[in-house]
Amino acid sequence: MKSAKNSSLKNGARVAIIGGGPAGSFFGIFASKLAKDLGRRLDITIYERKTFVNQGAAGCNMCAGVVSESLVQLLALEGINLPSSVVQSSIESYYFHTQNGNVQIKSSRLQQRGIATIYRGGGPKGSIEKGIQSFDDFLLHKAVECGAKVEHVIVDEIRMEGDKPVLYSRGKMLQDCDLLVGASGVKASTGEMYEKLGTGYKAPSTIKAMQSEIELGNNWISSQFAHSIHIFLLHIPGIKFVSIIPKGDFITISILGKEPDAGYTKVFLNHPEMRKMLPPGFKIPEKFCHCFPKINVGAARKPFAHRLVFVGDASSARLYKDGIGSSYITSKAAAHTALLYGIGEEDFKEHYLPACETLNRDNLFGQFLFHVNDLISTISLLSRGYFKIIQQEQKNLQKDAHYSDILWDMFTGSRFYKNIFIRALSPWPIIRSLLASSTSYLRKVFFSHQ
């Protein structure tokens, strides 16, 4: 396939985006805005099967639904302010439940509710809550405001005809385009469709997570989970960690573990630590809205070709966190490459690939940090010392919040993992941590002899 270096998207160029989730909408928004600044007009069509207004899986893009602190701020700077109809709960703290006790963590940097919990569709099946606007629907409308069109059609075949990609749906030609943007996440069927093009693209490796929506009522959630995301690190067999994300009348239970199934939610809801947070007499419903979304845990191979670029989960994503933030980064980098440099393979390699590689390299630091975190939580001496330091830091955040900020950034996805890694290597906090662990050990020895 030939390269077309320095042939950027010209006035009137046709762009087809497959997938109307955040990655597709972000590409539509940033390409339209930059084209306008450059005095060009693009013909952008977003192909999205769903409408994001239906309840349950039919209208949902299946994810835990947290927009990180840094992304909320970046979007506000881009002029995309999330309205209260989209934000189900504004988060100001994380609450960690561990075997050594519980601790609430707030950021030492900004005293505000800066993290948004959102629904990716029209809300859980059976929800009677009114006025829910899906985050994906909100962003898709922003893309339309910027000039993109939306077609609710399934694209099931792509052919390269001459120099251009041509899209088909059930054998019927939809359009040809100057640039095709693959933004359809990590679905196996679309991954295969792209791989069949023979450009060298290979879909990213994934793991399965589990999300369940449990209705507890707004009043109960406000009193028990108010403006906090709860993380449970309880060593339940098969479960790495559980996050509880408050959203109006519901909580989203997000479970990361080995081959999760519906039984995991029931095991977790019956755990004594979780039972304390449920209403008296709470019975686990027979049926509840749940799904098993795939999470990108490895980068796609060669996420670009001549007149073709992949963004969001179909390309590179941050490990375990901030998937929507990764979509923002990759989509913006791809849109700017296409408009400022070109749509040839070499252009994407030179100007788009570095953005993906930054995420991929950063995930190596992330893997290391999560391993260390797992290790700390399994060695009770270390975890007790670590827990004590964080408790002390939270009493006076302005004085010293080194470890609290590390934990905050790791679980909120507010900072790149490399940045967290460098801060974690700072010698004085390591000495402090070892001292705290030793003190904890001596106390244990001393009290055990009393």
Partner 1 sequence: MPEEGLLGRIYKDDEIIVKEGMQSRTMYVVQSGKVKIVKSDGDKEIILAVLNEGDIFGEMSLFDASPRSATVKAIGEARVLAIEHECLLKRITMDPTLAFRIIKQMSQRIRNLNSKLSTAMKTITQVNNKLLQLNSENVTFRDRETKSSHVIDNIAQIQKELHKCNELFIQNESL
Residues that bind partner 1 (CB under 8 A): 34, 37, 70, 72-74, 76-79, 81-90, 109-114, 116, 218, 222, 227, 246, 248, 329, 332-333, 336, 358, 414-415, 419
Output 228 or 440, the one with its CB closest to partner 1: 228
Distance CA 347, CA 333 (A): 12
DSSP 340: H
Element containing residue 363 per DSSP (H, E): helix 353-378
Structure tokens at 351: 């100007």
For the CB of residue 113, give the shortest distance to partner 1 in the complex, in Å: 6
Distance CA 2, CA 175 (A): 21
For the CB of residue 258, give the shortest distance to partner 1 in the complex, in Å: 34
For the CB of residue 385, give the shortest distance to partner 1 in the complex, in Å: 28
Question: What pairing do the DSSP bridges indicate for beta strands 308-310 and 179-182?
Answer: parallel
Q: What is the largest CA-CA distance in the chain?
A: 84
Output 48 or 213, the one with its CB closest to partner 1: 213
Output 36 or 266, the one with its CB closest to partner 1: 36
Instruction: Identify the three-state secondary structure at position 283.
Output: coil
For the CB of residue 410, give the shortest distance to partner 1 in the complex, in Å: 15
Output 82 or 139, the one with its CB closest to partner 1: 82
CB 42 within 8 A of CB 15: yes
Instruction: Identify the three-state secondary structure at position 284.
Output: coil
DSSP 263: H
| Dihedral over alpha carbons 391, 392, 397, 399 (to 10 degrees) | -160
Amino acid at 185: G
Distance CA 236, CA 438 (A): 27
For the CB of residue 122, give the shortest distance to partner 1 in the complex, in Å: 16
The DSSP code sequence of 415-436 is: S-HHHHHHHHT-HHHHHHHHHH
Amino acid at 132: I
For the CB of residue 151, give the shortest distance to partner 1 in the complex, in Å: 28
Output 48 or 347, the one with its CB closest to partner 1: 347
Output 67 or 233, the one with its CB closest to partner 1: 67
For the CB of residue 31, give the shortest distance to partner 1 in the complex, in Å: 12
For the CB of residue 36, give the shortest distance to partner 1 in the complex, in Å: 12
For the CB of residue 109, give the shortest distance to partner 1 in the complex, in Å: 5
Closest to 222 measured CA to CA, from 243, 253, 242, 251: 251
Output 155 or 353, the one with its CB closest to partner 1: 353
Residues 6+ apart with CB under 8 A from 162: none
Output 34 or 183, the one with its CB closest to partner 1: 34
Query: What are the distances in angstroms from CA 388 to CA 92, 105, 234, 409, 425?
Result: 21, 13, 17, 19, 19
Output 246 or 293, the one with its CB closest to partner 1: 246
